[in-house]
Structure 1
Amino acid sequence: MPLLALENLQVSYGGIKAVKGIDVTVEQGELVCLIGANGAGKTTTLKAITGLIHPAGGRVVYGGEDISGRKTFEIARKGLALVPEGRGVFPQLTIEENLLMGAYSRDDKPQVAADVDRVFGLFARLKERRGQTAGTLSGGEQQMLAIGRAMMSRPKLLLLDEPSMGLAPLMVEKIFEVIRGIAAEGVTMLLVEQNARLALEASHRGYVLEGGLVTLSGEARSLLGNPQVRQAYLGE
């Protein structure tokens, strides 16, 4: 049984169908990516999984349980963590305080402290600035912090929405290096990303979304070699 299964998922904004009935699965320990152009329905899909939008049809099944229409905080308590598009850090709080906000539902203080150290091991740049307020960080540093904060909840499923957006190429490389490292630890991930090449190179499997529909899916390696994907998303 997959950890996450979207079954004929449909999402509407008013009268407009943004997601038109998609089937997506994520197995335990997999890194799966959703790629596609702006407006394809990628972010909307993540919002439906996390309860930020209620599906108009179909089901979101997580760990064998239908969580469609559940409240966001209930879904988060089940071990789903979202790194949102635009990062969403708390600008007035320090780096360390932001990380501790990610562990708000935990009461195992020694393990929380160990996880803060683990995040600082992943992101040495954050460790150097641990007392600095998040609003003074660069976009790339805020992205590191957003990923670190999500990791503080010890998620069973980590959802990443456009982690490379607006970042300099060197910072994008660093972020994807960390994503691959987290995946190597066995954390299950669903990645939404416009940089199709980087997403597919990091992933086990991928889905191509166009106009709210899955038009292609398969092993990431085979999608990288697919002429349609190469022409539409890899600039070839």
Structure 2
Amino acid sequence: MTTNILKVEDLSVAYGGIKAVKGASLEVNEGELVTLIGANGAGKTTTLKAITGTLPNCKVSGHITYLGQALKGQSSFNLVQQKLAMVPEGRGVFTRMSIHENLLMGAYTSDDKQQIAQDIEHWFTVFPRLKERASQMAGTLSGGEQQMLAMARALMSHPKLLLLDEPSMGLSPIMVEKIFEVIRTVSAQGITILLVEQNAKLALEAAHRGYVMESGLITMTGNAKEMLNDPRVKAAYLGEA
């Protein structure tokens, strides 16, 4: 039986009179890579922030459960202890700390120094570019390298669910391909991922299942590979007639 990791039911988010999310529902099961695609402003990032409790003052309704427990009212910093980690849009690395220090921050909920050292070495094998620059200040890295660091830092917490918000944003095509290669590698290691992404083609190629969000509504869902061949997805997001 498949274990449900995340369930979002009838989520609505309103900023004053503006409804950013309008009754969205989605779920992510253990071991899945699920992607939420849509145009800029569709409500994708707002959905992730509602899950993590990091929205500014606004009206939120609906139900969000993680590992069977309601998330409503929980502080965002408690979620890391519950093995839920998010890589935010814009990466958010500690620019005046080294790569190694950033990774240590990702493991702040653990006091097992031996395990932390092993984890750092493990993720250095997945992100060899970071190992080469371990003592370098994070603020001096390229955008793609910072994205790798943000992902590795989140993975240091041993998440049961990893949320990725627009990991390809602002990166060169070569670096975008590299980031998605890493996402596929992480998924293959059994880590459950919810990926919010504008690059619909790469996101659906990497994912098991997909959701399409338009103007705050989930308008389509299904097997990711099948969605790649759906004429509506092709026309709206893949630039194909």
The TM-score normalised by the length of structure 2 is 0.96
SS at match of 2:4: coil
Counterparts of 2:8 and 2:215 in 1: how far apart (Å)?
Answer: 17
Match of residue 205, structure 1, among 209, 220, 230: 209
Tell me if structure 2 keeps the 8 A contact 1:55–1:69. no
Counterparts of 2:235 and 2:72 in 1: how far apart (Å)?
Answer: 35
Match of residue 45, structure 1, among 44, 47, 65: 47
Shift of 1:69: 2.7
Task: Indicate yes or no: 2:186 matched with 1:182.
Answer: yes
Tell me if structure 2 keeps the 8 A contact 1:33–1:207. yes
Shift of 1:49: 0.6
In angstroms, what is the RMSD of aligned CA positions? 1.0
The TM-score normalised by the length of structure 1 is 0.98
| Alpha carbons of structure 1 residues 70 and 112: separation in structure 2 relative to 1, 3 Å | same
Q: Give the match for residue 33 of structure 1.
A: 35
Identical counterparts, % of pairs: 63
Q: Give the match for residue 144 of structure 1.
A: 148
Q: Given residue 92 of structure 1, which amino acid in structure 2 is its aligned partner?
A: R
Deviation string for 1:64-104 (max 9, x for gaps)? 11112311011221111000000000010000000100001
Counterparts of 1:125 and 1:186 in 2: how far apart (Å)?
Answer: 23
Shift of 1:39: 0.6
Deviation string for 1:24-64 (max 9, x for gaps)? 00000000000000110000000011111276210111111
Q: Give the match for residue 100 of structure 2.
A: 96
Any gaps of 5 or more consecutive residues in structure 2?
none
Any gaps of 5 or more consecutive residues in structure 1?
none
SS at match of 2:170: coil
SS at match of 1:163: coil
Higher mean C-alpha deviation, range 207-216 or range 118-127: 118-127
- Matched positions, count: 236
Tell me if structure 1 keeps the 8 A contact 2:50–2:60. no
Following TM superposition, where does structure 1 have runs of at least 4 consecutive aligned residues deviating by more than 6 angstroms? none
